[in-house]
Amino acid sequence: MNKPLRRIAIFCGLLVLTLLIRDNWLQYVKADNLREDPKNRRVTIARYSTPRGDIVVDGDPITGSTESSKTGLNDLKYKRTYKNGPMWSPVTGYASQAFGANQLESIEDGILTGDDDRLFFRNTLDMITGKERQGGNIVTTLNAAAQKAAYNGLKAQGGKGAAVAIEPSTGKILALASYPSYDPSVFAGNSNDDAKAWKDLQKKYNPNDPMLNRALRETYPPGSTFKVVTAAAALENGLYKTADENTKSPLPWTMPGTTTQLKNEGSIPCKNATMRIALRYSCNTVFGKIGADLGNDKMLAEAKKFGFDAEQFTPIRSSSSVFSDDMNQSQTALSSIGQYNTAATPLQMAMVASAVANGGKLMKPYMVDKLQSSNLDTLTQTEPQELSQPLTSENAQILQSMMETVVKEGTGTKAQISGATVGGKTGTAQHGVENSENPYAWFISYARLSDGSAPVAVAVVIEDDQANRDDISGGGLAAPIAKSVMEAVINAKK
């Protein structure tokens, strides 16, 4: 071969080699990026070419799929539908052709679309038999009656708020409600109407922020409900060994390092009160002084055992609840009555009640019971998992007796349930600069049956800007909702 031809052959060979390298780079190295590129329309078309699997509650789907409108340029065949969308959206999240997905719809998207590797054999079998590929299902731990009671209670109240119910022995989430809420169906498609519905739900245009999941993502000052954590810290650290010994709590009590007296609400018997009496009447001085006496480190350690200062994954992520570090004694005192920097999600406070009800053992909260293939075979099953032990069983029993006194003859009497023993704690948390805005109304509780089991623990928070300030209390606004949720769970077990 002469020299010019050899050069041309080498050049052509290099071109072919370059093309092969480029082709392999695109097919293997860049394949995932190209497949997930939002500009790759074929992936989007394939995603919506078949119905999604369902999210299931009590054996019934709360989601569905329907064929999209053929008008315009929409080439996506199926869109998502929801049953009682506003009630269930804090659980399901949304799946939209135009705006993507979040919460369970996003976290388990592979299962619902049928793309998950765990569905490979099912999909292969369907391909061989000529059956259209189908997505799998998410079976939740939710209790439909409890969710309905929680949502309807919040809706009837008319302000903003959230409610969470947990099965203490397992950590199963039985209810997760937020109000105001939204219907994910109204923007599930890709039309101008869907775009307008989405815009109308954004906080910028809707100050009620209906898409905020208040049960998991909003933190509130927990007010006096946090006194349950403070009582637990006192018992666990041996500051007080029983519910009925007198505490060293003078009245008035000036916070250490200040000239400021910590006030109680009204004329209540708080001087050297026992912890039982102090929880019954919600004495700020008693629990504030307990926090100051224990100090920041011990209070923080106990709060962390209940789940504070850590995100929770249910699998939907919950914001971290807060109990601060590096506080002086007076700041620790205020934080120990649920004020200052202390902030908690409704999920977190349901976890507090759950741990007390479960003999001091805190179970990891979760809302997905199992994942199924399209033919209902179980792919994965969630097993209950212990998260921590905030209390010994002996101290848990002491705290149970204190919380049950609150409901029997204290501020939580509206949560009493015939045939069950209810323990609870009310809270009215300050809100705004110098407490200028309407306070938040809290109630945390659990119910025990005659066989000793505790099937449910609940937390409810209400924020109502329009209510008469004097009418706002945890016992008045939040406790009746908690009661209805607990009754729904108890009745479902009968």
Ramachandran quadrant class, 308 (left: phi over 0; alpha: psi -120 to 50; beta: rest)? beta
Among 96, 185, 224, 374, the active-site one is 224
Torsion of the alpha carbons at 90, 92, 98 and 100, rounded to the nearest 10? 100
Q: Rounded to the nearest 5°, which phi and psi values hold at 308?
A: -65, 155
CA distance to 61, 158, 268, 340, per residue, from 336 (Å) = 43, 30, 19, 9
Rounded Cα distance between 51 and 129, Å, is 18
Q: What amino acid occupies position 437?
A: E
Convert 109-120 to b/e letters by CB count within 10 Å (16 or more is b): bebbbbbbeebe
Whole-angstrom Cα Rg for the chain: 27
Alpha carbon separation from 32 to 41, 43, 100, 108, 158 (Å, rounded): 15, 11, 18, 18, 47
Q: Rounded to an integer, what distance in angstroms lies between the CA atom of residue 284 and that of residue 262?
A: 7
Residue 285: which of 322, 260, 321, 302 has the closest Cα? 260
DSSP per residue, 345-361: -HHHHHHHHHHHHTTTP
**Pairing relation of β-strands 55-57 and 137-140?**
parallel
Continuous H helices in 213-323? 227-236, 275-281, 284-294, 296-305
Q: What share of the chain is helix, strand, coil (3-state, %, to 5)?
A: 40, 20, 40
Per the annotation, the verdict on 224 as an active-site residue is yes
Closest by Cα among 368, 428, 390 to 308: 390
Active-site positions?
224
